[in-house]
């Protein structure tokens, strides 16, 4: 491969797509990264920041070695089908979306299913767009791969090598389990944070300077309320059933806790908090 | 004052008391910090770590220049009354608790009310005990002072000087407003985080390795669920009315959001998330 360029096409130049592009350029000296985005200004910004090397086109995929799809999940299926139609037999394609069942179902019978890896690197920040791209965003973060057995051995091997170079830890899961667990481990956190932000904004709308009272605790709990609605609305839609289930259980727990407070059962309040402290050991 | 030691007595050698002690020792070369804690092992650990200089005693306050009360809020009133009974007329006393109305009411008629400053430095981490003490924890953090007019001018002046040296920003507020706003800006975040932790632990209790899926988003939203139940239960008790009110509004918002999902009103989901993004500007 010496002297030969490895062609990466990144579709969606936001936080995740941009961060992958940055890492790939560092880890693979012979990589040339093409960028595609529906927003022309994102392409320009990504070029200016050195996130990508060249502006790409969806109609020039036939000589791509890799295609990475990093767009909001409601756009992924349409783009993925188009990409799988256009690639050659040696191209590896992966997505990075936070829902996996819908997409795995949608392309399960595609002729080029074997070229595709359904991936979910669990990493991010509350920021979006090419300016949000970060080096080493995926270092020691988990990347869930679904239905790995449906990807050809050679592409599994190559993709794992790339993911390893970027520093990801790999876990395998079926798409239904992925969507069920990620509702609790990620989607619910976003709703809890957005609604905390909403509640506080509503209450304090007539108050001046009250946000001077924001400590690091409030800031960390409300951080995800800064996330992109264009990214998160389609995630909640695609994973609606599991999200509603986790949200119902969360609301039940909040109601039960409110009742303990109202009934002055502070021994039980203590006990509940104390048991939940177990999260310390779990996340260690 | 050259050559003369300034005697600080810190009661409660946890995160806040310990961090104050560390900053005071750095900022005041002539300070000698006495430490008191109901747990003997905390006193020993604080000595070992250099958080305090000397083990103190509640019966030796008569020559103290400063007494700082940094214990859980259910213990504060009893200790504060005892301290105010024992100090001399030049001693400055302040607390650091997250509820202010109860304590201000309790000592409003004490002979030495003028020696006391009701303070709430809004800073912390999820850790507790003397090992959790940090230098510069209060740098650029807000310290709310309540009923400042009830403190003698000379003590106001001296305390402000100390708070400024430690790097705090000062805001003044009446105790009722403090408790109302802090319910939204701090206490509610803790409940939202604790219940998120509880919901996820309950769901995932039979799953192995699922916490590998925890991204930085979950970690930041659930961080406060690691906080000390001994500190937080009395806060919820003392500020019960405001906490229940903010919690009810939070639950109402979560229920309304769940209905939007259930009824497939994703345009409104988007709108809600988008409006809540305003927290970005607010917290800037």
Query: Residue holding tokens 């946890």?
Result: B14
List CB contacts (< 8 A) between B239 and chain A: none
Residue whose C-alpha is closest to residue B22's, from B141, B139, B193: B139
pLDDT of residue B207: 72
Question: Under an 8 A CB cutoff, do B240 and A261 touch?
Answer: yes
Bridge partners for B95 per DSSP: B69
pLDDT at B177: 95
Is the Cβ–Cβ distance between B244 and A257 less than 8 Å?
no
A59 touches chain B (CB under 8 A): no
Provide, as residue numbers in chain B, all residues whose Cβ is less than 8 Å from the Cβ of A227.
273
B236 touches chain A (CB under 8 A): yes
Closest in A141, A194, A262 to B244, CB measured: A262
Number of structural domains (chain A) is 2
CA atoms within 13 A on the CB side of B74: 12
The answer to whether residue A240 sits within a structural domain is: yes
**Predicted local confidence at residue A1, as pLDDT:** 46
B218 and B254 both lie in a single domain: yes
Contact B124 A226 (CB under 8 A): no
Residues B136 and B213 both lie in one domain = no
In this structure, the answer to whether residues A103 and A224 fall within a common structural domain is: no
- B150 plus B226 within the same structural domain: no
Q: Considering only CB atoms, which chain A residues are within 8 Å of B227? A: 273, 277
Question: Does A199 contact B229 at a Cβ distance shorter than 8 Å?
Answer: no
Which among B251, B255, B269 has CB closest to A236? B269
- Residue in chain A nearest B171 by alpha carbon: A212
Whole-angstrom Cα distance, residue A101 to residue A106? 9
Residue B238 inside a domain? The answer is yes
Local confidence pLDDT in tens for the 284 residues of chain B: 456 899 999 999 999 999 999 999 999 999 999 999 999 999 999 999 999 999 999 999 989 999 999 999 999 999 999 999 999 999 999 999 999 999 999 999 999 999 999 999 999 998 999 999 999 999 999 999 999 999 999 999 999 999 999 999 999 999 999 999 999 999 999 999 999 999 999 998 877 677 888 889 999 999 999 999 999 999 999 999 999 999 999 999 999 999 999 999 999 999 999 999 999 988 87
CA nearest B271 in A: which residue? A229
- Report if residue B117 sits inside a domain: yes
Residue A124 falls inside a structural domain: yes
Whole-Å CA distances, B48 to B24, B55, B60, B224: 17, 11, 22, 28
A237 at B interface, C-beta within 8 A: yes
Specify the DSSP class assigned to residue A5.
Answer: P
Is A130 in the same domain as A236? no
Residue in this structure with the two tokens 């022309």, named with its chain if needed: A40
Name the DSSP class of B51: S
Q: Does residue B198 sit in the same domain as residue B86?
A: no
Q: For residues A237 and A189, give the distance between their C-alpha atoms in angstroms, rounded to a whole number.
A: 16
- Burial label for A283, CB within 10 Å (0-12, 13-18, 19+), is middle
Question: What is the least distance, in Å, from the CA of B114 to any CA of chain A?
Answer: 25
Question: Does any domain span residue B1?
Answer: no
Q: What is the pLDDT of residue B208?
A: 65
Closest residue in B to A221 (Cα–Cα): B221
User: Nearest CA of chain A to the CA of B60: how many Å?
Assistant: 34
User: Which of A213, A253, A278 is opposite residue B122, by nearest beta carbon?
Assistant: A213
Close Cβ partners of A109 (under 8 Å, ≥ 6 residues apart): none
A75: in domain: yes
- Vertex B211 angle, CA A166 and A218, to 5°: 95
Q: In chain A, which residues have their Cβ closer than 8 Å to the Cβ of B222?
A: 189, 279, 283
**pLDDT of A212:** 83
Contact B263/A at CB under 8 A:
no
> Do both B37 and B149 map to the same domain?
yes
CB contact under 8 A, B216 and A125: yes
Domain boundary among A173, A193, A212: A173
Judge whether A91 lies within some domain: yes
How many angstroms separate the CA atoms of A124 and A132, rounded? 9
Q: A173, A198, A217 — which closes off a domain?
A: A173
For residue B185, the domain's CATH number is: 1.10.3660.10
Does residue A276 belong to the interface with chain B, where contact is any CB pair within 8 Å?
yes
CA A256 to CA B232: how far, in whole Å? Answer: 17
CB B230, CB A189: distance < 8 Å: no
B199 touches chain A (CB under 8 A): yes
Residues B220 and A225: their CA atoms lie apart, in Å, by 12
Q: Are residues A156 and A57 in the same domain?
A: yes
Claim to verify: residue B147 and residue B49 sit in the same structural domain: yes
From B95's Cα to the closest Cα of chain A, the distance in A is 17
Domain stops at, among B147, B173, B199: B173
Rounded to a whole number of angstroms, the distance from the CA of A99 to the nearest CA of chain B is: 13
CA distance A236 to A232: 6
Interface check for B171 against chain A (CB to CB < 8 A): the answer is yes
Residues B21 and B154 in one domain: yes
| B75 neighbors B17 (Cβ within 8 angstroms) | no
- Using CA atoms, how far apart are residues A61 and B265, in angstroms rounded to an integer? 37
Q: Give the pLDDT score at A156.
A: 97
The parent domain of residue B145 ranges over 6-173
Same-domain check for residues A87 and A62? yes
For residue A1, is it within any domain?
Answer: no
Mark whether B148 and B184 lie in a shared domain: no
Ranges of chain A with pLDDT below 50? 1
């Amino acid at each position: 491969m010496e002297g030969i360029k490895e062609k990466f096409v990144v579709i969606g130049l936001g936080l995740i797509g941009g961060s992958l592009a940055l890492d790939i350029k560092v880890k693979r000296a012979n990589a040339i990264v093409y960028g595609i985005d529906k927003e022309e200004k994102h392409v320009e910004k990504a070029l200016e920041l050195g996130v990508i090397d060249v502006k790409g086109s969806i109609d020039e995929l036939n000589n791509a070695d890799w295609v990475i799809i990093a767009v909001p999940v409601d756009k992924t299926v349409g783009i993925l089908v188009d990409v799988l139609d256009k690639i050659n037999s040696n191209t590896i394609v992966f997505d990075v979306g936070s829902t996996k069942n819908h997409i795995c179902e949608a392309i399960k019978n595609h002729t080029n299913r074997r070229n595709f890896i359904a991936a979910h690197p669990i990493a991010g920040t509350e920021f979006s767009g090419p300016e949000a791209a970060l080096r080493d965003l995926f270092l020691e973060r988990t990347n869930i791969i679904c239905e790995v057995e449906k990807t050809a051995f050679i592409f599994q091997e190559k993709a794992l090598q790339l993911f390893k170079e970027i520093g990801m830890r790999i876990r395998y899961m079926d798409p239904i389990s992925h969507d069920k667990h990620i509702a609790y481990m990620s989607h619910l956190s976003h709703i809890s944070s957005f609604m905390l932000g909403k509640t506080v904004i509503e209450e304090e709308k007539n108050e001046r300077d009250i946000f001077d009272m924001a400590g690091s605790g409030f800031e960390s709990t409300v951080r995800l309320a800064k996330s992109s609605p264009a990214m998160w609305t389609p995630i909640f839609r695609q994973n609606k059933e599991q999200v509603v289930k986790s949200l119902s259980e969360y609301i039940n727990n909040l109601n039960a806790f409110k009742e303990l407070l109202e009934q002055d059962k502070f021994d039980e309040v203590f006990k509940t908090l104390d048991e939940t402290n177990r999260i310390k050991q779990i996340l260690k």
